[in-house]
Structure 1
Amino acid sequence: MILAIERLGDDMHRRLENGPASSAEIGLWKAQIHQLDRRIGPLAKAFSDSLGEGSRFIKMALTAANLATAALLILLAVWRTRKLMKQRQAFQNALNAERERAQITLASIGQAVISTDAEGRLDYMNAGAERLLACPLAATKGKPVASLFRLVDKDSGVEETDLITRLLAGEPRRSNVRPQLLERLDGSVVPVALNGAPLIVSGAILGCVLALHDMTREQDYIERLSWQASHDALTGLVNRRDFENRLAGAISEAPQRPRRHALMYLDLDQFKLVNDTCGHAAGDQLLRQISVLLANELPPGDILARLGGDEFGVLLFDCDADCAAATAERLRATVQDLHFSWDGRPFNISVSIGMVEVANAGMTLEEVLRAADVACYMAKEKGRNRVQLHNDGDTALRERFGEMAWVQRLHAALDENRFRLHAQEIAPLRDDIAEAGAHIEILLRLTDEDGSFVTPQSFIPAAERYGLMPAIDRWVVRNTFAILAARLADPQAVPVSTCAINLSGATFGDETFLGFMREQFAAHAIAPETISV
């Protein structure tokens, strides 16, 4: 059909190129056109119908595709939404679990934890904080934290009022070395150690957090340790160290405040008898009873201390000589009147007291203690159960003072090996007696700190009185045997037939001295018959 139309068009074009067409030709062309039109009509209608059906099919196909796409998109949206909801639920569950874990942790730790909002109002506190503040969270939430408690410095008593303000300003708070006092709403006080920090999120301060630790146990423990460090465990009295510290304080304040004090040394006279016959339990009980009796006889503010063993010390403040003497006599009589018995065995107990005035600012602690010790020793030497007042003009006291000074010098001489041995030959009274070998007596001398020789008369009394002779005698024996062994090894030395060594009575009473002598004989290969003691 299209070719026929094309041919008709070509014919009409060629004819018109040769000139105008006639009416017959035009009529023919019209007839052909009408004929073609009649033939094309059904085809056009069929094409139109086919096009309509195709269009409707395409529309339906597109609609179906759109519906399928929309359904798919809806399904994808639903799936994505469900996935996001599951993730959100998982995040929420994890957040809830973490929050619960944090709350359980905060509730179980020993410290009290408090958090505030940006205005300093209570937002949260754990169970420890509820116990520490003695108020529940439900009743205090939203209230200013500063209104729930007060923080007071333990030493100065100054209240810290700007704690929350400083924390909300971004200034952290570290715990002090010494605890502060937390005062509750009911007025009760608890020692606490406190740490605080601002709560910062994304650079903004949203509040602050306080961590408070109840220091009651620690303070009690520290106080117990402090008490144990300054008191005697058996009697509960002040111990020697604390007593001497207080005495040193009383002596040091003398130039600024002219006050008169008195120091006493008390030594029980029959304590060793009780200990040796009845055991240490009886001795401990006696010490406890005497401690109570002595403490009851002293005015408030004065100090009674156990210095060790059966020795006690008393420091009387603002007390002249007459008052101190009367107090000392009262203490002596109190101990004398004690009727102590153990397992039905009665004991007569007495005490010797040495007393010295603490009024001379020129005296040192050591001098005051030594003066009281010497006075107590003199009270024992004069018959016990008496009070001896230290007096600088007392000749006997000066002698004892000198002897006590020798104690330290003798200890130093032993440590520094400053004793010297001299040999004195023993000659027979008859000239007609000839003996082989020399007979000598060993004499002891001491080289003083300045190199001068000191005779035995100067230091032997002090050594005997204060129990140093056994140590000195052992030094003499050990060094004498070493010299004798060296002479035996020297063929040119004059042989020693007899060597006399002077020993003290305390050494002969030493049960271990015989074993020491046997060791020296064996170590130096000295014949026992050579030695005479």
Structure 2
Amino acid sequence: MRAEWVLSSLSQALLCVDGEGTINYLNAAAEQLLNCDHHTVLGLPLESALPLRSDKGEALKPALLNELASAGGEVKLRTSGIDGREAVMSLKVEVVRGDGGEPAGFVLLLASHATASSAAAEVINHLDPLTSLMGRREFERRIDNLVNDAATSSRSHALLYIDIDQFKLINDTSGHGAGDNLIKAVGECLSAELFAGDLLYRLGGDEFGVLLCNVDSFEAKATATRLVRAVKRMDFVWSNISHRVSISVGVVLIDQYTLERQAVMSQADVAMYTAKENGRGRVHLYDVHDKNLSRLHDEMDWVHRINQALSKNEFCLVNEGIVPLGDNARADACRHSELLVRMCYKGELLSPGQFMPAAERFGLMPQIDRWVVQAVFDYLIANPQLRAGEVMFSVNISGQSLCQESFLEFVYRNLRRGNVDPSLICFEITETVAITNFSVVTRFMERVHELGGLFALDDFGTGMSSFGYLQELAVDFVKIDGLFVHDIDKNPIHEAMVRSINDISHVLGKKTIAEFVESQVVHDKLAAMGVDFSQGYLHGRPVALIHGAGQ
């Protein structure tokens, strides 16, 4: 590794002059501190090229530099900024000697006075308290330096973005103490594998970052692979339980084409998630020509939009009617509807098909579901005139949310508070989710049923063992999947499927709702079959739910 590479990457401002006082080197930190460009000052006398003066107003000539070096320690400097204001800096001078020991020049170490006096405290503030590694703020500052260096030189650097695989599982099952100790153990393992000059940071949660200076993509990927193997060899034991640990690493090269830190971080995020998708415990190098990465990039842009919408409360609910059929139309006076979520983006309402895939892929459904449930409770509290038997609202719950005990407790607590009659709400769970999480779903149903809440089995007919599980699930409604409903006037197989689902549901004491009803012919056929309810655009498009206005 060339010495110039090391010097250029230092955060300490450094300037070199020869024995005659001519500037022959200054690093990027010195350029930033002195607000100058090395092209304009190299080869010029220090005393005239830069407005630096001693505390007594003396120019920095070789004789004074030699005197300061002999005295040792730091001294104050004064300099004039481009706005004419005087600033104070600290200076430490070291003599550079030739092969024969004779003085050949001087190294000047510079810092703003404020920086010098608070350097130790700043370092402590930047340390992560759990791992004692440098934190995200210093990491981002360092990336900015590397991006600038790559843009002005032929050097390339690399970022390794590291995430502990299935950390949440260990944290949730064994407790936060286990999670904290795992983070510390992984940090120590990574530190032990890195070489001098490689920089390790904890970025937050279970994420780490490594910055490699002056490497190409091959060297960066080799380092990442070495780290993955080292973590796999770890033996992490907590409460006498041994856990297998692995990490996924996204690798991004920082070169002359890198525009900014935000681009580097976004690419690293995509590369890391690709490593996870490929099986975890892997390394993935970001490639701008990779179409799959481009697709993932688009989805992760949606992740940022979703998080922003959650933080700014930019979701809303719309109301789609569920209409009674046949005898139910005369006997059932209850207005039943499904509440659906929409995302507000740049003045438009986005349908779930635009943002839900990314939310499902990156685990954001529990946050969206929580927003929906809270919004429904807020709406019902704001409209006390809405009474059970007169209205009922269906609310969807995703499979990701059902797997979160904290989410289920959140729903249960809201129902128990007594501010809202639980029988006003019908929770919809898809058939696939119900079968996949059978024990969790049945337990949740039991608890909610005890309070008076209702359930509907959504998209029924798409699962593998539909009828076998139907008698085991204590649902109140069965929603027949629109795949079978929409063309029963033309497809006799689909007509037979709808008829059999309806008949068996009724035998089991469950009411049926046909989805995707878009024509009067289909509506009439469903009524003739004895299906209880119809839902679809035939009855109108979803309309906004307005607080304080009832239905």
TM-score band by shorter chain is: 0.5 to 0.7
Matched, 1:443 2:340: yes
The equivalent residue for 2:424 is 530
Structure 1 distance, partners of 2:289, 2:199, is: 28
Quick one: distance in 1 between partners of 2:185 and 2:422? 53
**In 2, Cα distance between equivalents of 1:232 and 1:179:** 28
CA distance 1:235–1:396, shift in 2 (3 Å): same
The corresponding residue for 1:512 is 410
Distance 1:282 1:488 in 2: 46
Larger fraction in helix? 1
1:329 maps onto 2:225 in alignment: yes
Give the aligned partner of residue 265 of structure 2: 369
454-463 vs 333-342, greater mean Cα deviation: 333-342
Q: 1:452 to 1:309 in 2, by over 3 A?
A: closer
Per the alignment, residue 526 of structure 2 pairs with none
Counterpart of 2:349 (choices 439, 453, 473) is: 453
Equivalent residue for 1:17?
none
> Who is 2:138 aligned against?
242
Q: Distance in 1 between matches of 2:375 and 2:181?
A: 46
The C-alpha deviation readout for 1:395-434, integer Å capped at 9, x for no partner, is: 4433432333223323433454433322211123436742
3-state DSSP of counterpart to 1:313: strand
DSSP 3-state at the match of 1:353: strand
Give, in whole Å, the separation in 2 of the partners of 1:465 and 1:252. 34
Gaps of 5+ in 1: 1-146, 159-175, 184-217
Deviation string for 1:58-101 (max 9, x for gaps)? Answer: xxxxxxxxxxxxxxxxxxxxxxxxxxxxxxxxxxxxxxxxxxxx
Quote the residue 1:291 is aligned against.
Answer: 187
Task: Give 1:126's aligned residue.
Answer: none
> How far has the Cα of 1:271 moved from its partner?
4.7
1:265 maps to which of 161, 165, 175: 161
Deviation of 1:274 after TM superposition, in Å, equals 5.6
Aligned letter for 1:428? P
Could you say which residue in structure 1 is the equivalent of 2:505? none
User: Identity, % of aligned pairs?
Assistant: 39
Q: Give RMSD over aligned pairs.
A: 3.9
Task: State the AA in 1 paired with 2:341.
Answer: L
**Which of the numbers 51, 57, 74 marks the counterpart of 1:154?**
74
Q: Is the 8 A contact 1:427 1:439 kept in 2?
A: yes
- Residue 77 of structure 2 contacts residue 89 of structure 2 at CA under 8 Å; is this kept in 1? no
How far the C-alpha of 1:275 sits from its partner, in A, is 5.2
- Residue 276 of structure 2 is matched in structure 1 by 380
Contact 1:270 1:348 survives alignment (8 Å): no
Paired letter, 2:140: E
Residue in structure 1 matched with residue 298 of structure 2 by the alignment: 402
| Aligned residue pair count | 328
After superposition, the C-alpha distances for 1:304-338 in whole angstroms (9 at most, x for unaligned) are: 22222332211112211122111111111122223
Q: Which residue of 230, 246, 251 maps to 1:350?
A: 246
Does the aligned pair in 2 maintain the 1:356–1:389 contact within 8 Å? yes
CA change 1:315–1:342 in 2 (3 A) is same
SS in 1 for 2:163: strand
Cα 1:232/1:221, change in 2 over 3 Å: farther
What is the CA deviation profile of residues 333-383 of structure 1, one whole-angstrom value per residue up to 9, with x for unaligned ones?
A: 122223344566543322211111222535321221122122212222322
Flag the 1:479–1:326 CA change in 2: closer, same or farther, 3 A: closer
State the partner residue of 1:308. 204
Q: CA deviation at 1:178?
A: 6.3
Return the letter of the residue paired with 1:447: C
Note the C-alpha offset of 1:498.
2.4
Letter in 2 for 1:297: E
Hey, what's the Cα distance between the residues in 2 that align with 1:264 and 1:464?
A: 26
More strand by share: 2
Asked if the contact 2:300/2:358 (under 8 Å) is kept, the reply is: yes
Q: For residues 406 and 219 of structure 1, do their structure 2 counterparts lie closer, same or farther at Cα, with a shift above 3 Å needed?
A: closer
- Give the Cα–Cα distance (whole angstroms) in 2 for the partners of residues 257 and 350 of structure 1: 36
Q: Cα–Cα, structure 1 residues 433 and 474, in superposed 2: closer, same or farther, change >3 Å?
A: same
Q: Scaled by the length of structure 2, what TM-score is found?
A: 0.51
1:430 partnered with 2:350: no
Counterpart-to-counterpart distance in 2, 1:305 and 1:251: 17
Compared with structure 1, are the counterparts of its residues 484 and 331 closer, same or farther at alpha carbon in structure 2 (3 Å cutoff)?
closer
The higher-RCO structure (CA 8 Å, 6+ apart) is 2
Query: d(CA) in 1 for partners of 2:305 and 2:162?
Result: 26
Task: Map 1:32-111 onto structure 2 (within 5 A).
Answer: none
Structure 1 residues 431 and 415 mapped into 2: Cα distance closer, same or farther (>3 Å)? same
Equivalent positions of 1:122-133 (< 5 A) are none
TM-score (norm. length: structure 1): 0.53
Work out which of the two has the higher radius of gyration on C-alpha atoms and give 1 or 2.
1
Question: Aligned pair in 2 of structure 1 residues 408, 314: CA closer, same or farther (>3 Å)?
Answer: same
1:503 to 2:397 alignment: yes
Give the aligned partner of residue 71 of structure 1: none
**Partner Cα separation in structure 2 for residue 443 and residue 343 of structure 1:** 44
Task: Measure the CA separation in 1 of the matches of 2:183 and 2:205.
Answer: 9
Contact 1:339 1:348 in 2 (8 A): yes
Structure 2 counterparts to residues 193-204 of structure 1, below 5 A: none
